[in-house]
Structure 1
Amino acid sequence: MTDQHAVYTPPAGYPILTPLYDIGVRLSTREKRWRRDLVDLIEPKCNEVLLDIGAGTGSLAPLLATKNPATTYFGIDPDEDAIQIARKKAGRAGIDAEFKHGLFSVATVAKWPAPNIATLCLVLHQVPYEEKLRLLCDINEALKPGGRLFIADYGEQQSRLMRVLFRATIQQLDGVSDTQPNADGALVPLMEQAGFLSITECKRYQTITGLISIYGATKASADE
Protein backbone atom coordinates (compact mmCIF):
# COMPACT_ATOMS: atom_id res chain seq x y z
CA MET A 1 0.00 0.00 0.00
CA THR A 2 1.28 3.48 -0.89
CA ASP A 3 2.23 5.64 2.05
CA GLN A 4 0.27 8.79 1.25
CA HIS A 5 2.41 10.84 3.63
CA ALA A 6 5.42 10.06 1.42
CA VAL A 7 3.93 11.78 -1.64
CA TYR A 8 2.15 14.82 -0.29
CA THR A 9 2.61 17.61 2.20
CA PRO A 10 -0.33 18.68 4.43
CA PRO A 11 -2.09 21.85 3.19
CA ALA A 12 -0.18 24.25 5.44
CA GLY A 13 3.02 22.23 5.56
CA TYR A 14 2.29 20.55 8.92
CA PRO A 15 -0.86 18.66 10.06
CA ILE A 16 -1.23 20.84 13.16
CA LEU A 17 -1.63 23.91 10.90
CA THR A 18 -4.47 22.52 8.74
CA PRO A 19 -7.22 24.38 10.68
CA LEU A 20 -5.36 27.63 9.92
CA TYR A 21 -4.91 26.86 6.22
CA ASP A 22 -7.81 28.94 4.90
CA ILE A 23 -6.70 32.03 6.79
CA GLY A 24 -3.09 31.61 5.71
CA VAL A 25 -3.95 31.16 2.03
CA ARG A 26 -6.36 34.10 2.10
CA LEU A 27 -3.76 36.42 3.61
CA SER A 28 -0.69 35.27 1.71
CA THR A 29 -1.78 34.34 -1.84
CA ARG A 30 -4.43 36.86 -2.95
CA GLU A 31 -6.75 33.88 -2.94
CA LYS A 32 -9.99 35.79 -3.48
CA ARG A 33 -8.64 37.22 -6.73
CA TRP A 34 -7.17 34.08 -8.27
CA ARG A 35 -10.00 31.78 -7.25
CA ARG A 36 -12.56 34.17 -8.74
CA ASP A 37 -10.52 34.40 -11.94
CA LEU A 38 -10.14 30.62 -12.02
CA VAL A 39 -13.92 30.09 -11.90
CA ASP A 40 -14.39 32.72 -14.61
CA LEU A 41 -11.86 30.89 -16.81
CA ILE A 42 -13.58 27.56 -16.20
CA GLU A 43 -16.98 28.97 -17.25
CA PRO A 44 -18.82 25.96 -15.74
CA LYS A 45 -21.79 24.63 -17.69
CA CYS A 46 -24.89 22.79 -16.47
CA ASN A 47 -23.98 19.44 -18.01
CA GLU A 48 -20.34 19.45 -16.97
CA VAL A 49 -18.56 17.42 -14.28
CA LEU A 50 -15.65 19.04 -12.45
CA LEU A 51 -13.06 17.01 -10.56
CA ASP A 52 -11.11 19.01 -7.98
CA ILE A 53 -7.87 17.14 -7.26
CA GLY A 54 -6.28 18.16 -4.00
CA ALA A 55 -9.55 19.78 -3.01
CA GLY A 56 -8.11 20.70 0.39
CA THR A 57 -10.66 22.47 2.58
CA GLY A 58 -13.15 22.76 -0.28
CA SER A 59 -12.81 26.46 -1.09
CA LEU A 60 -13.49 26.02 -4.81
CA ALA A 61 -16.87 24.28 -4.49
CA PRO A 62 -18.91 27.23 -3.12
CA LEU A 63 -17.47 29.60 -5.74
CA LEU A 64 -18.25 27.14 -8.50
CA ALA A 65 -21.81 26.76 -7.22
CA THR A 66 -22.23 30.53 -7.20
CA LYS A 67 -21.18 30.67 -10.86
CA ASN A 68 -23.29 27.69 -11.94
CA PRO A 69 -24.99 25.52 -9.29
CA ALA A 70 -25.88 22.90 -11.91
CA THR A 71 -22.24 21.96 -12.54
CA THR A 72 -21.48 18.65 -10.82
CA TYR A 73 -18.58 18.89 -8.38
CA PHE A 74 -16.39 16.09 -7.00
CA GLY A 75 -13.35 16.72 -4.78
CA ILE A 76 -10.61 14.38 -3.56
CA ASP A 77 -7.77 15.02 -1.13
CA PRO A 78 -5.37 12.81 0.89
CA ASP A 79 -5.72 14.95 4.01
CA GLU A 80 -8.62 13.67 6.13
CA ASP A 81 -8.77 16.78 8.32
CA ALA A 82 -9.01 19.00 5.26
CA ILE A 83 -11.79 16.88 3.78
CA GLN A 84 -13.79 17.10 7.00
CA ILE A 85 -13.50 20.89 6.84
CA ALA A 86 -14.56 20.81 3.16
CA ARG A 87 -17.69 18.78 3.93
CA LYS A 88 -18.69 21.15 6.72
CA LYS A 89 -18.07 24.15 4.47
CA ALA A 90 -20.25 22.69 1.70
CA GLY A 91 -22.97 21.87 4.24
CA ARG A 92 -23.02 25.42 5.60
CA ALA A 93 -23.22 26.77 2.04
CA GLY A 94 -26.05 24.38 1.20
CA ILE A 95 -24.36 23.14 -1.97
CA ASP A 96 -24.30 19.71 -3.57
CA ALA A 97 -20.64 18.65 -3.52
CA GLU A 98 -19.15 15.20 -2.97
CA PHE A 99 -15.77 14.81 -1.29
CA LYS A 100 -13.56 11.75 -1.01
CA HIS A 101 -10.60 11.16 1.29
CA GLY A 102 -7.73 9.54 -0.60
CA LEU A 103 -4.85 9.94 -3.03
CA PHE A 104 -6.01 10.76 -6.53
CA SER A 105 -5.54 8.13 -9.21
CA VAL A 106 -7.64 6.89 -12.11
CA ALA A 107 -8.69 3.95 -9.95
CA THR A 108 -9.74 5.98 -6.89
CA VAL A 109 -12.19 8.10 -8.91
CA ALA A 110 -13.39 5.30 -11.20
CA LYS A 111 -16.85 5.22 -9.60
CA TRP A 112 -17.41 8.92 -10.31
CA PRO A 113 -18.50 10.16 -13.75
CA ALA A 114 -15.64 11.03 -16.08
CA PRO A 115 -14.96 14.76 -15.71
CA ASN A 116 -15.06 17.40 -18.41
CA ILE A 117 -12.91 19.65 -16.23
CA ALA A 118 -10.14 18.97 -13.71
CA THR A 119 -8.57 21.46 -11.32
CA LEU A 120 -5.36 21.41 -9.29
CA CYS A 121 -5.04 24.29 -6.84
CA LEU A 122 -1.81 24.69 -4.85
CA VAL A 123 -1.03 20.97 -5.13
CA LEU A 124 1.87 20.36 -7.49
CA HIS A 125 4.41 22.48 -5.61
CA GLN A 126 3.93 20.21 -2.58
CA VAL A 127 4.71 16.83 -4.17
CA PRO A 128 7.89 15.21 -5.56
CA TYR A 129 8.77 15.60 -9.23
CA GLU A 130 7.73 12.05 -10.12
CA GLU A 131 4.39 12.55 -8.37
CA LYS A 132 3.79 15.77 -10.29
CA LEU A 133 4.11 13.83 -13.54
CA ARG A 134 2.01 10.90 -12.29
CA LEU A 135 -0.80 13.22 -11.24
CA LEU A 136 -0.81 14.97 -14.61
CA CYS A 137 -0.74 11.69 -16.53
CA ASP A 138 -3.60 10.26 -14.46
CA ILE A 139 -5.63 13.44 -14.90
CA ASN A 140 -5.15 13.20 -18.65
CA GLU A 141 -6.38 9.62 -18.55
CA ALA A 142 -9.37 10.39 -16.31
CA LEU A 143 -10.64 13.35 -18.34
CA LYS A 144 -13.13 12.94 -21.15
CA PRO A 145 -11.67 13.48 -24.64
CA GLY A 146 -11.38 17.21 -25.19
CA GLY A 147 -11.59 17.81 -21.43
CA ARG A 148 -9.91 20.79 -19.81
CA LEU A 149 -7.35 21.11 -17.03
CA PHE A 150 -6.77 24.21 -14.93
CA ILE A 151 -3.83 24.54 -12.55
CA ALA A 152 -3.48 27.36 -10.02
CA ASP A 153 -0.10 27.07 -8.35
CA TYR A 154 3.34 28.50 -7.85
CA GLY A 155 4.93 28.33 -11.28
CA GLU A 156 8.18 29.76 -12.56
CA GLN A 157 9.38 32.51 -10.24
CA GLN A 158 10.21 35.05 -12.92
CA SER A 159 11.92 37.81 -10.95
CA ARG A 160 14.50 38.04 -8.21
CA LEU A 161 11.89 39.45 -5.79
CA MET A 162 9.48 36.57 -6.40
CA ARG A 163 12.28 34.01 -6.00
CA VAL A 164 13.33 35.58 -2.70
CA LEU A 165 9.78 35.67 -1.34
CA PHE A 166 9.12 32.10 -2.47
CA ARG A 167 12.34 30.91 -0.83
CA ALA A 168 11.54 32.72 2.43
CA THR A 169 7.97 31.42 2.75
CA ILE A 170 6.78 28.42 0.73
CA GLN A 171 10.14 26.68 0.63
CA GLN A 172 10.48 27.07 4.37
CA LEU A 173 7.07 25.41 4.91
CA ASP A 174 7.08 22.79 2.15
CA GLY A 175 10.78 22.14 1.59
CA VAL A 176 13.07 22.84 -1.34
CA SER A 177 13.17 19.48 -3.16
CA ASP A 178 9.45 19.41 -4.03
CA THR A 179 9.01 23.13 -4.64
CA GLN A 180 12.12 23.97 -6.66
CA PRO A 181 10.96 22.34 -9.93
CA ASN A 182 7.93 24.66 -9.92
CA ALA A 183 10.14 27.69 -9.31
CA ASP A 184 12.42 26.59 -12.18
CA GLY A 185 9.52 26.40 -14.66
CA ALA A 186 8.90 22.65 -14.79
CA LEU A 187 5.09 22.74 -14.89
CA VAL A 188 4.58 23.44 -18.59
CA PRO A 189 7.09 20.77 -19.76
CA LEU A 190 5.47 18.28 -17.37
CA MET A 191 2.02 19.05 -18.77
CA GLU A 192 3.38 18.51 -22.27
CA GLN A 193 4.97 15.23 -21.20
CA ALA A 194 1.62 14.10 -19.77
CA GLY A 195 0.00 14.66 -23.17
CA PHE A 196 -1.84 17.93 -22.69
CA LEU A 197 -2.36 20.32 -25.59
CA SER A 198 -2.95 24.08 -25.97
CA ILE A 199 -1.11 24.84 -22.72
CA THR A 200 -1.47 28.49 -21.74
CA GLU A 201 -0.42 30.59 -18.77
CA CYS A 202 -3.72 32.45 -18.37
CA LYS A 203 -3.00 34.67 -15.36
CA ARG A 204 -0.15 35.68 -13.03
CA TYR A 205 -0.35 37.03 -9.49
CA GLN A 206 2.51 38.54 -7.54
CA THR A 207 2.03 37.66 -3.87
CA ILE A 208 4.04 37.92 -0.67
CA THR A 209 4.80 34.20 -1.04
CA GLY A 210 5.89 34.26 -4.67
CA LEU A 211 4.37 34.25 -8.15
CA ILE A 212 1.16 32.21 -8.59
CA SER A 213 0.02 31.34 -12.11
CA ILE A 214 -3.14 29.86 -13.58
CA TYR A 215 -2.46 27.45 -16.44
CA GLY A 216 -5.04 26.05 -18.82
CA ALA A 217 -4.69 23.00 -21.07
CA THR A 218 -6.81 20.45 -22.94
CA LYS A 219 -6.82 16.72 -23.45
CA ALA A 220 -6.77 15.57 -27.07
CA SER A 221 -10.22 15.02 -28.53
CA ALA A 222 -11.29 11.60 -29.77
CA ASP A 223 -10.32 12.37 -33.37
CA GLU A 224 -6.85 13.79 -32.58
Structure 2
Amino acid sequence: MTHSLHRSGPIESQKNDFCWFMYQTKGKNDVNIKPKALEFIAAAEAVGSENWGDVKTGPKTQYPIETIKDRITDKSRIRGVFTKRDQVVDFLKQIKAKDLGMSVVITGVLSEVLPACKESGVTPHSINYSLGVWGKKDNLPDDTTLSITTMCGHHMIPPKYVQHMIDQVRKGRLTEEQAATKLANFCYCGIFNQVRCANIIEETAKKDNE
Protein backbone atom coordinates (compact mmCIF):
# COMPACT_ATOMS: atom_id res chain seq x y z
CA MET A 1 0.00 0.00 0.00
CA THR A 2 3.01 2.31 0.29
CA HIS A 3 2.73 3.12 -3.42
CA SER A 4 -0.26 5.29 -2.51
CA LEU A 5 1.62 7.44 0.01
CA HIS A 6 3.47 9.80 -2.29
CA ARG A 7 0.60 11.82 -3.71
CA SER A 8 1.51 15.47 -4.04
CA GLY A 9 -0.16 18.83 -4.48
CA PRO A 10 -1.85 21.35 -2.16
CA ILE A 11 -3.09 19.86 1.11
CA GLU A 12 -6.60 21.19 0.56
CA SER A 13 -6.75 19.23 -2.69
CA GLN A 14 -5.41 16.10 -1.01
CA LYS A 15 -8.08 16.32 1.69
CA ASN A 16 -10.49 15.09 -1.00
CA ASP A 17 -8.35 12.08 -1.84
CA PHE A 18 -8.46 8.79 0.09
CA CYS A 19 -7.30 5.34 -1.00
CA TRP A 20 -8.72 2.08 0.33
CA PHE A 21 -7.24 -1.41 0.06
CA MET A 22 -8.08 -5.01 0.85
CA TYR A 23 -5.00 -7.10 1.55
CA GLN A 24 -4.47 -10.78 2.22
CA THR A 25 -1.40 -12.28 3.92
CA LYS A 26 0.47 -15.09 2.19
CA GLY A 27 -0.02 -18.37 4.01
CA LYS A 28 -2.56 -16.88 6.43
CA ASN A 29 -5.72 -15.80 4.63
CA ASP A 30 -4.86 -15.97 0.94
CA VAL A 31 -7.38 -18.58 -0.22
CA ASN A 32 -11.08 -18.25 -1.06
CA ILE A 33 -10.51 -14.54 -1.71
CA LYS A 34 -13.35 -13.89 -4.16
CA PRO A 35 -16.34 -13.86 -1.77
CA LYS A 36 -14.46 -11.58 0.60
CA ALA A 37 -13.39 -9.28 -2.22
CA LEU A 38 -17.00 -9.06 -3.37
CA GLU A 39 -18.00 -7.96 0.13
CA PHE A 40 -15.36 -5.21 0.03
CA ILE A 41 -16.58 -4.11 -3.39
CA ALA A 42 -20.19 -4.08 -2.19
CA ALA A 43 -19.27 -1.83 0.74
CA ALA A 44 -17.22 0.47 -1.49
CA GLU A 45 -20.00 0.72 -4.07
CA ALA A 46 -22.59 1.36 -1.37
CA VAL A 47 -20.75 4.50 -0.23
CA GLY A 48 -19.97 5.65 -3.78
CA SER A 49 -16.30 4.78 -4.31
CA GLU A 50 -15.44 6.87 -7.37
CA ASN A 51 -12.86 4.42 -8.68
CA TRP A 52 -11.64 0.95 -7.77
CA GLY A 53 -10.16 -2.05 -9.47
CA ASP A 54 -8.24 -5.28 -9.36
CA VAL A 55 -4.67 -5.00 -10.59
CA LYS A 56 -5.16 -8.35 -12.37
CA THR A 57 -7.85 -6.79 -14.59
CA GLY A 58 -7.88 -3.01 -14.27
CA PRO A 59 -10.02 -0.13 -12.96
CA LYS A 60 -13.75 0.37 -13.28
CA THR A 61 -13.12 3.50 -15.33
CA GLN A 62 -12.04 1.16 -18.12
CA TYR A 63 -13.76 -2.18 -17.52
CA PRO A 64 -17.35 -3.12 -16.64
CA ILE A 65 -17.76 -3.82 -12.93
CA GLU A 66 -19.08 -7.33 -13.58
CA THR A 67 -16.02 -8.14 -15.69
CA ILE A 68 -13.70 -7.15 -12.85
CA LYS A 69 -15.73 -9.21 -10.37
CA ASP A 70 -15.77 -12.28 -12.62
CA ARG A 71 -11.97 -12.23 -12.97
CA ILE A 72 -11.17 -12.05 -9.24
CA THR A 73 -8.77 -14.77 -8.09
CA ASP A 74 -6.77 -15.53 -4.96
CA LYS A 75 -4.02 -13.33 -6.42
CA SER A 76 -6.27 -10.28 -6.72
CA ARG A 77 -5.64 -7.00 -4.92
CA ILE A 78 -8.77 -4.89 -4.55
CA ARG A 79 -8.09 -1.15 -4.24
CA GLY A 80 -9.97 2.09 -4.78
CA VAL A 81 -10.54 5.74 -3.92
CA PHE A 82 -12.97 7.98 -2.06
CA THR A 83 -13.31 11.74 -2.27
CA LYS A 84 -15.05 12.40 1.05
CA ARG A 85 -14.22 11.57 4.66
CA ASP A 86 -17.82 10.48 5.28
CA GLN A 87 -17.33 7.75 2.69
CA VAL A 88 -14.29 6.47 4.58
CA VAL A 89 -16.23 6.40 7.85
CA ASP A 90 -19.19 4.51 6.37
CA PHE A 91 -16.91 2.10 4.51
CA LEU A 92 -14.90 1.24 7.63
CA LYS A 93 -18.07 0.73 9.67
CA GLN A 94 -19.37 -1.73 7.09
CA ILE A 95 -16.09 -3.64 6.81
CA LYS A 96 -15.75 -3.83 10.58
CA ALA A 97 -19.28 -5.22 10.86
CA LYS A 98 -18.62 -7.79 8.11
CA ASP A 99 -15.55 -9.07 10.04
CA LEU A 100 -14.03 -10.75 6.98
CA GLY A 101 -10.60 -11.31 8.50
CA MET A 102 -8.80 -9.24 5.87
CA SER A 103 -6.42 -6.33 6.30
CA VAL A 104 -7.89 -2.91 5.54
CA VAL A 105 -5.71 0.04 4.58
CA ILE A 106 -6.76 3.69 4.25
CA THR A 107 -4.34 6.34 3.01
CA GLY A 108 -4.74 10.08 2.87
CA VAL A 109 -4.00 13.24 4.84
CA LEU A 110 -3.67 12.15 8.48
CA SER A 111 -5.76 15.04 9.78
CA GLU A 112 -8.64 13.47 7.81
CA VAL A 113 -7.86 9.75 8.08
CA LEU A 114 -7.34 9.53 11.84
CA PRO A 115 -10.64 11.24 12.74
CA ALA A 116 -12.37 8.98 10.21
CA CYS A 117 -10.94 5.93 11.95
CA LYS A 118 -12.10 7.24 15.33
CA GLU A 119 -15.60 7.98 14.04
CA SER A 120 -15.89 4.48 12.62
CA GLY A 121 -14.64 2.78 15.77
CA VAL A 122 -11.43 1.51 14.17
CA THR A 123 -8.02 1.73 15.85
CA PRO A 124 -5.13 1.87 13.34
CA HIS A 125 -2.69 -1.02 13.68
CA SER A 126 0.18 1.02 12.23
CA ILE A 127 0.88 4.21 10.27
CA ASN A 128 3.24 4.75 7.35
CA TYR A 129 4.45 8.22 6.38
CA SER A 130 5.79 9.67 3.15
CA LEU A 131 8.91 11.73 3.84
CA GLY A 132 8.75 13.51 0.49
CA VAL A 133 11.14 13.48 -2.45
CA TRP A 134 14.86 13.40 -1.78
CA GLY A 135 17.89 13.81 -4.01
CA LYS A 136 18.28 15.59 -7.32
CA LYS A 137 14.85 16.90 -8.36
CA ASP A 138 15.79 19.01 -11.37
CA ASN A 139 14.34 16.54 -13.85
CA LEU A 140 10.97 16.16 -12.13
CA PRO A 141 7.85 17.47 -13.89
CA ASP A 142 6.19 20.67 -12.67
CA ASP A 143 4.10 20.55 -9.48
CA THR A 144 0.75 20.43 -11.29
CA THR A 145 1.81 17.47 -13.41
CA LEU A 146 3.18 15.69 -10.34
CA SER A 147 -0.10 16.21 -8.47
CA ILE A 148 -1.69 14.07 -11.20
CA THR A 149 1.01 11.48 -11.96
CA THR A 150 1.57 10.66 -8.27
CA MET A 151 -2.04 9.48 -8.00
CA CYS A 152 -0.78 6.40 -9.82
CA GLY A 153 1.73 5.04 -7.31
CA HIS A 154 3.42 2.80 -9.87
CA HIS A 155 3.99 5.84 -12.12
CA MET A 156 2.17 4.38 -15.10
CA ILE A 157 0.98 7.81 -16.29
CA PRO A 158 3.49 9.66 -18.54
CA PRO A 159 3.95 13.32 -17.56
CA LYS A 160 3.85 14.40 -21.20
CA TYR A 161 0.51 12.69 -21.65
CA VAL A 162 -0.83 14.64 -18.66
CA GLN A 163 0.30 17.86 -20.30
CA HIS A 164 -1.30 16.74 -23.58
CA MET A 165 -4.61 16.09 -21.81
CA ILE A 166 -4.52 19.53 -20.19
CA ASP A 167 -3.85 21.04 -23.60
CA GLN A 168 -6.81 19.14 -25.10
CA VAL A 169 -9.09 20.56 -22.40
CA ARG A 170 -7.65 24.03 -22.89
CA LYS A 171 -8.50 23.82 -26.61
CA GLY A 172 -12.00 22.55 -25.93
CA ARG A 173 -11.42 19.14 -27.51
CA LEU A 174 -12.11 17.24 -24.29
CA THR A 175 -13.93 17.99 -21.07
CA GLU A 176 -11.88 17.80 -17.89
CA GLU A 177 -13.85 14.69 -16.89
CA GLN A 178 -13.06 12.95 -20.19
CA ALA A 179 -9.37 13.79 -19.87
CA ALA A 180 -9.27 12.60 -16.25
CA THR A 181 -10.88 9.28 -17.17
CA LYS A 182 -8.36 8.70 -19.96
CA LEU A 183 -5.58 9.22 -17.41
CA ALA A 184 -7.28 7.00 -14.82
CA ASN A 185 -7.31 4.10 -17.26
CA PHE A 186 -3.51 3.87 -17.06
CA CYS A 187 -3.66 3.07 -13.31
CA TYR A 188 -4.60 -0.60 -13.10
CA CYS A 189 -4.74 -0.60 -9.30
CA GLY A 190 -7.80 1.62 -9.39
CA ILE A 191 -6.40 4.17 -6.93
CA PHE A 192 -6.28 7.05 -9.40
CA ASN A 193 -8.71 9.76 -8.29
CA GLN A 194 -10.24 10.99 -11.53
CA VAL A 195 -12.53 13.43 -9.68
CA ARG A 196 -9.59 15.26 -8.11
CA CYS A 197 -7.73 15.03 -11.43
CA ALA A 198 -10.60 16.70 -13.29
CA ASN A 199 -10.58 19.56 -10.77
CA ILE A 200 -6.83 20.03 -11.18
CA ILE A 201 -7.11 20.03 -14.97
CA GLU A 202 -10.01 22.48 -14.91
CA GLU A 203 -8.15 24.93 -12.66
CA THR A 204 -4.95 24.64 -14.71
CA ALA A 205 -6.70 25.10 -18.07
CA LYS A 206 -8.54 28.20 -16.79
CA LYS A 207 -5.30 29.78 -15.54
CA ASP A 208 -3.59 29.07 -18.85
CA ASN A 209 -6.43 30.74 -20.75
CA GLU A 210 -6.48 33.89 -18.61
TM-score strictly above 0.5: no
Structure having the larger proportion of residues in strand = 1
- Pick the structure with greater CA Rg: 2
- TM-score using structure 1 length: 0.33
